[in-house]
Structure 1
Amino acid sequence: MNLKKHNQMMMLLTCFVLIASSLPMTHATAQTDQAVVATDAINVRTGPGLSYGIAAVVKRGESYPILTEQGEWVQIQLSNGQKGWVVSWLITTSSGAQKSAKPKAQGQSTAGGSTITSTASDLRIRTGPGTSYQVIGTFPQGATAKKLETSGEWTKISYKQAEGWVHSDYVSGGQKTSQSSSGESSRSNETGTVGVSSLNVRQSAAPNAQVIASLARNTQITILREQNGWYEIEGKGVKGWVASYYIVTGKGAGSAPEKSSSSSASEQKAYIVYDGTNIRKSASTSAGIAERATKGAAYQIVRTQGDWYEVTLSNGGTGYVASWVVQTKKNSSEAPRPQQDSSSGTGSLKGKTIVLDPGHGGKDSGTIGADGAFEKNITIKTANLLAGKLRASGANVYLTRSDDTFISLQSRVATSHYRNADAFISLHYDSFMDQSVRGSTAYYYHAAKDQQLASSVHSEVAKRSQIPDKGVKFGDYFVLRENKRPSLLYELGYLSNPQEEAIIYSASYQERVTEGMTEGLKQYFR
């Protein structure tokens, strides 16, 4: 290389160094912070928004360098060299602190409104807080708007110079809580139950904190406080932190009715709350059935065993009934009715033919829940419980499948026609990529033939259900479209939502929705 060329290259290199040194520094977190995945799985997107494509999926506990932040999104460096974006409230930093669920816009006053994001595609904006109000526009998935006020389950927003109402189940962020600046709030010793098969209790509120114990499904706990999506809990002699979305609270917690002590148990009676309640041969849901009870029947309590009552049967023997399907006082709002002979049939279902269609089966598992549950297993469980209640009310009930067998859609409809069904009900559970989506929906196809059935059943289920109600909608499903008999397809909740999956599995929820369907059918035939 001659001297002239050498000097030219040195000049170019000097210019490059000068230009590089004048560029702005990147975000400080690019060299110091790591993003630790704080939930089971997060979609990594090609851009900072839900409308961008999915580049990868990262798992709980994995750690990635943070490159930059934009609003509520964080750009990370993947192990294969690619870059992608994740929502900030689903990660913690390497120091263990969780990112803010929804950062407040600069200069924005919490009292004057906050920013919320649509989690549903083309969410309808209405003139008032209800589905009966006129639709004036849509709120696209991933779009943000200013939150103005709330009314029940509805939120008023300002979006593109227009104001209107959207359902609160389909937006995220903007919550006004009593949390301190540390993201901590008191839960006033609220109770709950574990909603997954095994839940790790950790030493602190972080996914990489040390595991100090494990609690089984349905274990009752007391919530002491909440911090950034974690609960500090106490139960079974254990005190520590658990992820909040694996705890069922409120109605879904399925707390048992007050039990008497063993010395006074014989003076109490168990009043049956639901038609077709199973009295079992031992204190287990898998035990054989000794007899079926009708709503309002009174059984003498012999003693308590865990969450079960041992009761005296009509033949003088004893059986066991779950405490969560009875009441021990006769003065609740669910007024019991006099005991009737279940063999004679009751109400307006006597002689009616009902075909129940548990969705999926066999090689078709249906959706797979957040905790690994197969939809096909829970639909058959619901169908069998509902069938017992309907038969106790005098109906003739047929199932399109009674075990884990694949049945074609054509065969399901053929069963409805062959049995000349007075009503056909297809039972399903839903799933969505966005795990925050919740709620149950009743679907019909032919307005003249099906809508009244869907509305009657939905009305009674909605009164009893512990999960959000998404209403009655048109649905272009084969088992409805090709069915000549009055038919309904019910999506009874989202297995993809961890908390809703836990509620769905609870005995309390199963009893409530099947009782609602039974009463809804009575209303329909009346």
Structure 2
Amino acid sequence: MRLNVKVLCFFLVIILLIGSFPFKPTSAATKTATVNATSLNVRTEPSSSSKQIGSLKKGSIVTVYKIEKGWANISFQDRKAWVSSAYIKENHSTGSHIPSQKEAKTAKVTATSLNVRSGAGTQYKTVGSLKNGAVVSVIKEEGNWSNITYGSIKGWVSSAYLLNQTGKPSANKPVKSGKWGTVTATYLNFRSSGNLTSPIIGSIKYGTSVQILSESGSWLFIQTSDGKKGWVSRQYITIQTGGSPIVTNPKPATKPPVAPPSSVSKKVVVLSDGVNIRQGPSTAYLIVGNADQGDEFAYLQSKNDWVQIKMPSGKSAWLAGWLVAVQQSPSSPNNPSVPKPSLEGLKGKRIVIDPGHGGNDPGATGKSSGTQEAAMTLMSARLLATELSDAGAKVILTRSDNTYISLNKRVEISHYHFADAFVSLHYNSASDRTATGLLTFYYGQKDLKLANSVNTGLVGAKTGLKGGNVRYGNFHVLRENKQPAVLVELGFLSNPFDESTIKSNSFQTKAAMGITNGLAQYFK
């Protein structure tokens, strides 16, 4: 019995000693997979009916978090997303594999200055930057991001600004085309990446000549004569070969497909991309065409929530009234031309426009006709973006469709682009239905001058609502923002008069012009 006790004590001591060593469990290797479909849709939820937020090309390598019911939860850009697991093949590896220099692809940086980040997304911190022309080793690709090394710099960069040296483009940045083209749309949006979900960073006018740096499917990566770069839809560019030099606004070979005659008293301006043109004033009528933001038509009449337009062919058609703005033509006697203040100070300025709310956060709702704040802020932001781009500013929208963007992400976009000004657009609501008017909020001393200038511009625009109030506001997008920032409340949806005024095209146009004039004065 004594022996047994001694033996037990001995083993107990051994177990305690072993447990005291700082052993660490081996971390499971990150699971990766390769896309084996030609083009694989990426969605927000594990369902084919959920919203598509992008696509992956064959051969793309993705990080897989889990697989359930035929769907794979993956890392895509700066979020988690879902793809059909039938079209990916798991990479069987016991650990991460870093290719040798012989295996690694090389690519050249095409941006003036390209940020290198600690992870595949704009939410990760910057760990360095690369100059134009730098040749990097591409270790792997994930969505629209590339893991690279350059000397002692290691991290992730946007694949849109890499040109593969082996002759095959990296992600959506294909081989340099040596072509140039002419814009055929009245206003053409250009985006940060070649897909409709990426942010609009500016717009260019009809007739502008652009250099085509690269091509990817239905998208072109272009550069204007003043150095602006971005992705545009191929269908609105007439392409010519031969590497001709850029000529600013050459005489176009054909007239723009959508432009109202100068004699009409009103014109209809489309506020969104991909708007259906129908035979009649209802979604029950057949679609006869489509229009994009900035397209213009001659106005014929309004019926309920629909607007009848005159097509370039001379035929009439209908557009949804909530997706367009009806404006007085400059030649109309009811709208005499008023000299605009100088907008010279806006040229080259980086301005982030933040349409408040969106997606599962609709914001305030109008008491009289149910107007939703999220829809109104997006419409106002698009009008403002067009005004600012027309004045030469570089405009970045925090959201360009009805999607939810977190407050942190909105501030990150401001920091990422080193915004010269950040303008958050909202519509107010109060339990007191008599509350009315425009308000402009600031947080810190760095914001006060901007708030006063924007407020002055709005008051001068004579929108039809009371204004003139500049107030301190402890809002996240102002408080956490390192760049000059303001939050503008463009009237009260809880007030019946304000709500009806806000919905008018006159108000929307004047508000956009007022903020533009205020920003121009601020930079002046």
Q: TM-score, normalised by structure 1?
A: 0.40
